Amino acid sequence: MFRFNILVFAGCTALLIASQACTDLSERTFDVIPTDQFGNTPAQQAALIGPLYNSLGDYFGNYNELNTVTDEQVVPTRGGDWKDGDNWKRLHEHTWSPVQDNGQFNGRWNWIYNSITSINQQLGTITDENTRAELRALRAFFHYIAMDLFGNVIIAEKVGNATPEQKTRTEVFNWVEKELLEVYPRMSETVGGAYYGRFNKYVVDMILAKMYLNAQVYTGTPQWQKAIDRLNTIINSGKFSLAGNFFDNFRVQNQGSPEIILATPFDNSKRGGMNIQMRTLHYDHKLTYNLPANPWNGYATLAEFYNTFSDQDARKNMWIVGQQFDAAGNPLKDGDLPLVITPEIPAFEMPAGPVARLAGARSQKYEIQRNNPTNDQSNDFVIYRLADAYLMRGEAYFRLGQTANALADINRIRTRAGVPAFTALTLDNILAERGRELAWEYHRRQDLIRFDQFTRAWRFKPASQKFRELFPIPQDQLSLNPRLKQNPGY
């Protein structure tokens, strides 16, 4: 993992001994750069960008709740647990309100634009062109997220007090594309080491490929070939390879996976926030993994999604079902009943009791850190990886009618999972394969929208309206900026 540490000492010491003051005990230091002189060399300027990546580290924290709007994640009400004013129910049913759920969306908006503001402030002091390119790419990424979540948003290119103007989704798409293409020649080709968790050329290629794959949604015009071209650069670079074991990508120490294109580093003592195990595990899984506290027994997947995995699919082991055991191998109980996790969730709102507590397959895709003294884990969260690049390219090939190429890419992923190769492709089985490979990596909402499946009915959710494909502009932002207009339907 990369770390930027700047230690600056400054001070003045006065010492009184026996009522007699020392008049000059100032210390001259020769090995510390004063803060007003730091940042004059390219190496120093590169070091200054480290704190700006902290906001990228909040990617997991900002997306894990929003994943509840998809068919792969559900947070049912278990007695009084996870009631939370029916917030989780509204997210799952697509009945969220821009006023009642303002905090849900305003938090994401502020994360995006506070990150952009910090980058703009730093850009004002950076003269090294390679460092500026990296910061502009990071800034473009946050604009891409804003465009994806909210549609018509603000382009913030500089720090200023003027009331910013709202741009159309197409205008934002074009601006992000322009920024990424302009900085691309100056982006590093280094993978890993000092560039682990940072933006390089291949991260930019992946962002552009995501944009082109979803261009029909964003702009009305498909750009499948452009997506293929960017993915070719990643795949043909020789810098990445599929991990031999699917789960190597999600180990507690997963930074060595050859498949990771971009991850956000976490450490249970130095950089907290990776706590997916607390959100999904049953309370008594504390005894299974020797955790310091009882997990919260919340996040699960729908039985229908769980059942898309065949028994021979190695990836099915990402789900926890069946009898559970303590660390010594003894069967656990929930009250007087065996602690058996069942895939079926009988109702979204369940009365208190073992049925509610045991309902729903839980996730162990990210290895659960045993004997961990904190609630935070050391798995790095994976934003982009090579398997997704193959699946994206396969989909783009298929949409262009190049079925043989599409089958080769998608079957490469199925082979690793231990399932038979597809002999024919449809949009439905491509979407299903993406779901099995990328579950709980927070691509599902975007995928469902691209495949025109986001508004269909699924368990505990009736068919929803098309306007729900965009989240509402937060009410707080509308109040602060009269130039913002709410998304249609809200």
Structure confidence at residue 10 (pLDDT): 30
pTM for this prediction: 0.91
Confirm if 365 and 274 have CB atoms less than 8 A apart.
Answer: no
The rounded distance, in Å, linking the Cα atoms of 245 and 251 is 10
Other Cβ atoms within 10 Å of 192 Cβ, number: 14
Strand, helix or coil for residue 341: strand
Confirm if 319 and 364 have CB atoms less than 8 A apart.
Answer: yes
**Would you give the DSSP letter of residue 367?**
P
Structure confidence at residue 41 (pLDDT): 66
Residue spans of the domains in the chain: they are: 276-379
Structure confidence at residue 50 (pLDDT): 84
Q: Quick one: which of 408, 401, 465, 405 has its CA closest to 427? A: 401
Structure tokens at 14: 């006065």
pLDDT tens, per residue, the chain with 490 residues: 433 332 222 333 332 233 333 334 444 444 444 445 545 666 776 677 888 999 999 999 999 999 999 999 999 999 999 999 999 999 999 999 999 999 999 999 999 999 999 999 999 999 999 999 999 999 999 999 999 999 999 999 988 878 899 999 999 999 999 999 999 999 999 999 999 999 999 999 999 999 999 999 999 999 999 999 999 999 999 999 999 999 999 999 999 999 999 999 999 999 999 999 999 999 999 999 999 999 999 999 999 999 999 999 999 999 999 999 999 999 999 999 999 999 999 999 999 999 999 999 999 999 999 999 999 999 999 999 999 999 999 999 999 999 999 999 999 999 999 999 999 999 999 999 999 999 999 999 999 999 999 999 999 999 999 999 999 999 999 999 999 999 999 9
One-character DSSP codes across 17-72: ETTEE-S------SSS--GGGTT-SHHHHHHHTGGGGGTGGGHHHHHTTGGGGSTT
Structure tokens at 369: 């850190």
Contacts of 55 (CB under 8 A, 6+ apart): 111, 114, 115, 118, 142
User: What is each CA distance from 61 to 43, 54, 273, in whole angstroms?
Assistant: 31, 12, 7
Q: Quick one: which of 215, 206, 267 has its CA closest to 239? A: 206
Count Cβ neighbours within 10 Å for each residue of 158-174 and write b for 16 or more, e otherwise: eeeeeeeebbebbbbbe
